[in-house]
Amino acid sequence: MQIYVDSANLKEIQHAASMGFISGVTTNPSLLAKEDPSTNIKDLILKIHESVGGHTSVEVISTDTEGMLREADEILSWFPEATIKIPFIPAGLAAVRNLSDRGIPTNVTLLFTANQALIAANAGATYVSLFMGRLDDIGTDSLIALQDTCEIWDAQGLDSQIIAASIRTPIHLLECAKAGAHIATVPYKVLMQSMKHPLTDAGLEAFLKDAAKISM
Ligand code: E4P
């Protein structure tokens, strides 16, 4: 399972990318809205893309197919390898079909059930983003939705890549990998939490202390 960073914060993204295990980044309007309001979005997105060098999902904000396609063309004029992130609404699926027929990668977002993911895949989505945390927030077990999706993908041999999104805890990350998601897109804070172990820190401290007693 690949790991993407789910952020629009350049510092976080640069640090995550510098560690060498990040394959992409996903942004959304809410993540972008958390950044300095004076920031030029195009410049920020380009810097984010440069920092990661891999997959970069950029979300459209129109709710009609024509508007989404116009925005997609604008984003692609910034960098042609962009993945266009599109909400799971009827107008969005029509946009996904159009972009997919033109060979442009799409990431269908705001998916909460395996049926939605299956429909997005049939519209030609390159990636389907199934949200975990937001399902758990309303008392619905997100793992069941993810396991159903992975089971369908295995049974049907579908090409779209399953992204586990809306990850809130290290346990989510573990569950996504066990369920068979192709990718998990993870907030910076959860990445750092997932890396941390007290025995790793204590072990290093002891090694360094002992290393000071010997000559290499
Ligand atoms: C990523 O593609 C999603 O937009 C993101 O993971 C949503 O996360 P949230 O539910 O924490 O906002």
Residue 215 pLDDT class (50, 70, 90 cuts): confident
Q: Judge if the beta carbon of residue 188 lies within 6 A of ligand 1.
A: no
Amino acid found at 170: P
What average pLDDT does the chain have? 97
CB-hemisphere CA count at 13 Å for 203? 5
CA–CA separation, 208 and 184 (whole Å): 34
pTM of the predicted model as reported, rounded to 2 decimal places: 0.96
Instruction: List the alpha helices (DSSP H) in the chain.
Output: 10-18, 29-33, 41-52, 65-78, 90-101, 114-122, 133-137, 142-156, 170-179, 188-195, 198-211
Residue 216 has pLDDT above 80, yes or no: no
Is the distance from CB of 165 to CB of 132 less than 8 angstroms? yes
Q: Which residues contact 202 (CB under 8 A, 6 or more apart)?
A: none
Residue 22 pLDDT class (50, 70, 90 cuts): very high
Q: Judge if the beta carbon of residue 142 lies within 6 A of ligand 1.
A: no
Q: Tell me whether residue 196 is one of the annotated catalytic residues.
A: no
| Spacing, Cα 166 to ligand 1 middle (Å) | 4
68-104 per-position pLDDT tens digit: 999 999 999 999 999 999 999 999 999 999 999 999 9
Name the residue at shortest CA distance from atom 12 of ligand 1. Answer: 166
| Spacing, Cα 70 to ligand 1 middle (Å) | 24
149-181 per-position pLDDT tens digit: 999 999 999 999 999 999 999 999 999 999 999
